[in-house]
Structure formats: C-alpha cells, structure tokens
C-alpha cells in the first residue's frame, strides 16, 4: 500500500488529503485503515506523532459519509474521548480538516468553559463529537447529550486516561454506549491494566502497533549528564548556548519547578514560557501558540500539560528532571524526532535520580550516551544570573478573569484536567488552530546585554 488512493476512501476525503499534501500513509495508517474500513474493532499501540489521528478519523469519516443520515437531536454518530483539552481540540481540528469538503458537523466539549454553549451546539446533534470524559458525563447528566446513536467509539491515549484517574468515568461511558458499534482503542503503551481496559471495550479487535512497547524512537539521540540538582540551571544555560536548537521542550516534574526554570531563563534574558496545570487557560493558550508559531523557542512543561501536544520542529527535549515513571520518558522524548526529523534528548540526572535513570534504561533497553560537564562549569555555576522576580500576581487568582472562572469551575468539581497535574481548565480552541510551525533558522540562545556572559571557552556537552 503506497498511496491513499488505494484505500478506496470517499472522494471528499481524498480531496482533503490532497489539500493537506499527504501523499504517503504512515505505517499506522497503512495497518489500521483497511480493517477499519471493513468495520473491525481496533487496538492501536501508537503515540501521538505517528499519524494515528488520521488513521482512525479517515475510515470513520468514510463510514459517516457512506451511510449518511442526520444525527438525532442531542446525539452523536462518532464519539472520540481524549484525556486532555489540548488533545481533544487537536483531534477535532484534524477531523474538521479531513472533513472540510463534507457537511459533517464536528463538535468539541471539555471542561473549564461555560457548558451552555456546548449544550446549544449539541442540541441539533453532531456527526463527530470529541470530548474529555468529565464534561461528557456532565452533559449526559444534564440530558444535553445521549449516547444511544453512537456508531463509532474511539478511546484515545488510554494509558494517560488511566494515569489521570478517568477509569470510573470510562466505565460509566461504556455502560451508556449502544452494544452495536465499532470500537477503536489507542494507547501509547499496553501494560496489563490497559490491556484489561481494552478488553472491556473491544470486540475481536485487530491489533496494530507502530512502536514496540516502551522502546525509544530510533532517530532520537539520547544523552545524559550527571549533575547536582542545584547546578542544573547553569547546565541548562550551557546547553542552550552550545546546541543548535530550533525549538526545545524542557520538562520538569513539578509546576513550581517549571516556573523556577522560566524565571532563571528570564533572569538571563532568555525568553521561555511555562505550561502546566496552575497556569490560567489564557496563559496556556498563549504559551502554546507562541511555541507553535516559533515566536518563543523554549517551552517549559510538566508531563500532563505537554502530552498529546503535536508541535513539529521540536529539535530538543531537555529533561531538566527525569521522570520517575519510565514510560513517561518515552512520551517526553517522543515530542522530538517527529515526521521523520532527527531529534536530541538530553537528561540532567541528579544523584537522587539515578535509580529513575536505571529504570528508564531497563524499560527502554537503551543506554543514553554520557555527556561530560564543560571544563569551566564551576565558573558557570558561580556566574549564573539571578532569576527574574516572580510576577506580582503569582498566586493571586483574582487578577485574571479567566482564572477566576477556571477556579470557580474547579470548586464546582466540573471540567477536566488531570488530577495529578492540578487540573487544566478553560477553552483550548486556539490550541487547535493548526500547527503554524514555520521552518526556522537554527539559533543558539545567547543572553541579552551580556547578562550572564560566562567567560572562557564553552565546550559542547556530548
Ligand atoms: P498524529 O499522530 O495523528 O497526531 O499526527 C501527527 C502529525 O502528522 C500531524 O501533524 C498530522 O497532520 C501529520 N500527518 C498524519 N498523517 C500524515 C501523512 N500521511 N502524511 C503527512 N503528514 C501526516
């Protein structure tokens, strides 16, 4: 199978694919589309970035067009569940793109935004609904949405759903779905408990896998530097100066850690945004858009906030702190080396993180290349610029109206967000507005105005 034309997809879909310049199906598309066109259930082991969204949405749109009928009021013909608002918005945008020459109605619902508009949107019924589980159940409880018309059910990023504590919501949704339906189940990893969940949803599925479980993408050059925790900031500055970076995602384990990294970078005149669950929706949207457009090249993120986000052109993933769950490492570094590009993953490992590194190496069956600290590192640590002051409104939730609304939602217990990461709430429509990534000239990060200009030669790490 070498061309999309071989699948026999509806002509309107082929037109949309041509408009998007897709010529060759990705491996998951080649494997998944034919059985899905036959109506089979599917269990897909694949990460975001593999083309899985088109893999499931193209045959589904084909089905909706081949058996056309209007969705019933408050009903939907295809339901896609995703763990985060960002991913839900991204999937909905892809469905809109692939269905742009059709009259299919695509709606997105997630928490953190007023529910009334969503109720109005659903009143006439929609063809494709992309939802996060909490808000979906809210709408069902308010009788604004019914599940008895669902013909195709997609559960995306199942492992993250479990991590975020959505298991009970998923079981509830499963009970409400009609028994005659096609089921698609996607997960980046397939440990036992996820396989158990898949069993509950799937009926004689075809299993397709594009990246063996928890193995690391081959195109990613992985490096590790052993460093004291308190010296990581200096190492980060060094890496940013010595590497050819288009765009870098910097991961921390905690929200405060992410803010601290940004403040330190700002102190050195380096622009970066943070994205995590304590940020207001407006801040998250701004950060993501700026990163997508290339306006800002560094995004500091916690795991939950960053997963599922598809931004092309991420040349580097920097693990400022390495994750204590090995699979999370695979997800993180998978943000780079997308769409055939090469990528670099650099991990900073403090003495107390070494056991985590050993777990990662065991699970991924790879060993990252050790990279030495530069000779003048002590001097770099001593000369590290002071961090910028935290913004005055940090912690004062009253100043950002969106934040006030988000918090009100949170208090009411509605909406989505990832229990582990503090709950991300608010509209993410903007996040779906295309990738917008322009090819950028490679650039090194140099502090402005001589701030933190370390003397002496700076060697490459690794
Ligand atoms: P996904 O894994 O679904 O998030 O897709 C990752 C990225 O690959 C998205 O930006 C898609 O637009 C893009 N993509 C998906 N399928 C293809 C294809 N066959 N050819 C080129 N790009 C694709």
Domain assignment present for 120? yes
Whether residue 315 is found in the same domain as residue 420: no
Whether residue 171 is found in the same domain as residue 267: no
Whether residue 377 is found in the same domain as residue 457: no
CA dist 145 and 139 (Å) reads: 6
* Angstrom distances, CA of residue 361 to CA of 250, 330, 337, 357: 20, 11, 19, 6
Ligand 1: which of 18, 22, 48, 51 to mutate, most ligand atoms within 8 Å of CB? 51
143 lies in which domain range?
Answer: 4-209
Q: Is 398 helix (H, G, I), strand (E, B) or coil?
A: helix
Domain assignment present for 153? yes
Q: What is the pLDDT of residue 165?
A: 84
| Distance from Cα 243 to the centre of ligand 1, integer Å | 27
Tokens 């909406």 found at: 415
Q: Among residues 199, 167, 198, which one has the least CA distance to residue 185?
A: 198
Ligand 1: which of 6, 21, 54 to mutate, most ligand atoms within 8 Å of CB? 54
Domain assignment present for 178? yes
Please work out, in degrees rounded to the nearest 5, the angle formed at the alpha carbon of residue 321 by the alpha carbons of 232 and 302. Answer: 125
Give the tens place of pLDDT for each residue, 90-125: 999 999 999 999 999 999 999 888 999 999 999 999
Give the tens place of pLDDT for each residue, 413-439: 333 333 333 333 333 222 222 222 333
Domain assignment present for 391? no
Whether residue 148 is found in the same domain as residue 263: no
Q: Are 170 and 137 in contact (CB under 8 A)?
A: no
Q: Are 113 and 427 in contact (CB under 8 A)?
A: yes
Q: Among residues 280, 250, 278, which one has the least CA distance to residue 262?
A: 250
Q: Is 155 helix (H, G, I), strand (E, B) or coil?
A: strand
Please work out, in degrees rounded to the nearest 5, the angle formed at the alpha carbon of residue 118 by the alpha carbons of 420 and 39. Answer: 80
Question: What lines the ligand 1 site, CB under 6 Å?
Answer: 22, 24-26, 29, 48-54, 310, 339, 435
DSSP assignment letter at 110: -
From the CA atom positions of the chain, what is the Rg in Å? 22
Return per-residue pLDDT of the chain as tens, 462 residues.
579 999 999 999 999 999 998 988 998 999 999 999 999 999 999 877 788 999 999 999 999 999 999 999 999 999 999 998 888 999 999 999 999 999 999 999 998 889 999 999 999 999 999 999 999 999 999 999 999 999 999 999 998 898 788 999 999 999 999 999 999 999 988 888 889 999 989 999 999 988 644 445 567 889 999 999 999 999 999 999 998 898 999 999 988 999 999 999 999 999 999 988 777 777 877 888 899 889 999 999 988 766 656 777 888 999 999 998 887 888 888 778 665 567 899 999 999 999 999 988 887 778 899 999 999 999 999 988 888 877 664 443 434 444 444 444 444 433 333 333 333 333 322 222 222 233 334 445 554 433 333 333 333 332
Ligand 1: which of 50, 53, 314 to mutate, most ligand atoms within 8 Å of CB? 53
Whether residue 235 is found in the same domain as residue 378: yes
The CATH number given to whatever domain includes residue 21 is 3.40.50.300
Q: How many domains does the chain have?
A: 3
Whether residue 238 is found in the same domain as residue 344: yes
Whether residue 336 is found in the same domain as residue 307: yes
Whether residue 331 is found in the same domain as residue 201: no
Domain assignment present for 22? yes
Domain assignment present for 343? yes
Give one word for 426, left, alpha or beta, with left for phi > 0 and alpha for psi -120 to 50: left
């Amino acid at each position: 199978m070498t061309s999309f034309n071989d699948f026999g997809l509806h002509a309107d879909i082929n037109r949309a694919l041509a408009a998007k310049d897709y010529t060759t199906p990705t491996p998951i598309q080649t494997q998944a589309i034919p059985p899905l066109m036959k109506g089979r259930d599917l269990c897909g082991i694949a990460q975001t970035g593999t083309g899985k969204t088109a893999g499931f949405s193209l045959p589904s749109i084909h089905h909706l067009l081949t058996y056309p009928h209007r969705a019933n009021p408050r009903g939907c013909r295809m339901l896609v569940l995703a763990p985060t608002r960002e991913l839900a918005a991204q999937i909905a945008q892809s469905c809109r793109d692939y269905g742009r020459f059709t009259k299919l109605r695509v709606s997105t619902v997630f928490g953190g935004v007023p529910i009334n508009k969503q109720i109005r949107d659903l009143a006439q019924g929609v063809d494709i609904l992309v939802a996060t589980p909490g808000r979906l159940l809210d709408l069902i409880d308010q009788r604004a949405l019914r599940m008895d018309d669902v013909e195709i059910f997609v559960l995306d990023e199942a492992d993250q759903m479990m991590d975020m504590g959505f298991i009970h919501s998923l079981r509830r949704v499963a009970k409400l779905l009609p028994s005659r339906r096609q089921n698609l189940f996607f997960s980046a990893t397939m440990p036992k408990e996820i396989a158990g969940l898949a069993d509950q949803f799937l009926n004689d599925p075809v299993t397709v896998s594009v990246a063996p479980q928890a193995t690391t993408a081959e195109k990613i050059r992985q490096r590790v530097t052993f460093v004291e925790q308190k010296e990581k900031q200096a190492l980060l500055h060094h890496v940013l100066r010595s590497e050819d970076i288009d765009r870098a995602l910097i991961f921390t384990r905690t929200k405060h850690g992410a803010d601290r990294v940004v403040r330190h970078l700002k102190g050195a005149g380096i622009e970066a945004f943070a994205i995590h669950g304590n940020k207001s929706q407006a801040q998250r949207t701004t950060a993501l858009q700026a990163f997508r457009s290339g306006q800002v090249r560094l995004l500091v993120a916690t795991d939950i906030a960053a997963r599922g986000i598809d931004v092309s052109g991420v040349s580097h993933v920097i693990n400022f702190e390495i994750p204590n769950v090995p699979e999370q490492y695979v997800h993180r570094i998978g943000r780079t080396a997308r769409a055939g590009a090469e990528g670099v993953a650099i991990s900073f490992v403090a003495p107390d993180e070494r056991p985590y590194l050993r777990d990662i190496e065991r699970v991924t069956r790879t060993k990252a290349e050790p990279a030495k600290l530069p000779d003048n590192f002590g001097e770099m640590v001593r000369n590290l610029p002071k961090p910028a002051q935290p913004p005055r409104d940090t912690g004062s939730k009253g100043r950002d109206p969106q934040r006030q609304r988000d918090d009100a939602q949170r208090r009411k217990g509605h909406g989505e967000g990832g229990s582990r990461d503090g709950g991300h709430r608010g509209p993410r429509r903007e996040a779906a507005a295309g990738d917008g990534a322009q090819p950028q000239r490679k650039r090194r990060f140099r502090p402005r105005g001589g701030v933190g200009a370390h003397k002496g030669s700076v060697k490459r790490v690794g």
